[in-house]
Amino acid sequence: MTNRHAFSPQRVTIKAGETIEWKNTSSMTHTVTDDPSRARRAMDAQRPQGVQPFDSGRLAPGGTYTYTFKVPGIYRYFCEPHAIDGMVGQVIVTP
Ligand SMILES: [Cu+2]
């Protein structure tokens, strides 16, 4: 999470069971979520069927959030306040 309202890298491929840690290296608050109820654009939130959405809540500068991707598939996530500025990301989870 950067001051340019972006996730870096924007797209990663991992194996099922691996954990990703996001770190807020910016000077502002961000979130990491794929919860469709928080998305202004439906296309920003995606996860395999049956998987519960994740949501970091507000991450202050320096804050971290970890999530373990157990189910293979395509995940699209976003920062709730900045998705509209293009702060979106994608995780591809292979079996
Ligand atoms: Cu943000």
pLDDT for 6-36, tens place per residue? 999 999 999 999 999 999 999 999 999 999 9
Measured in angstroms, how far is the CA atom of residue 13 from the centroid of ligand 1?
22
Cα distances (Å, whole numbers) of residue 71 to 1, 7, 46, 59: 24, 22, 13, 25
Measured in angstroms, how far is the CA atom of residue 35 from the centroid of ligand 1?
15
Measured in angstroms, how far is the CA atom of residue 80 from the centroid of ligand 1?
7
Inter-residue contact 45 to 39 (CB < 8 Å): yes
Model confidence, pTM = 0.95
pLDDT in tens, 72-89: 999 999 999 999 999 999
Measured in angstroms, how far is the CA atom of residue 67 from the centroid of ligand 1?
17
Q: How many CB atoms lie within 10 A of CB 48?
A: 13
Nearest one of 87, 78, 36, 26 to 56, comparing CA atoms: 78
Measured in angstroms, how far is the CA atom of residue 57 from the centroid of ligand 1?
11
Measured in angstroms, how far is the CA atom of residue 14 from the centroid of ligand 1?
23
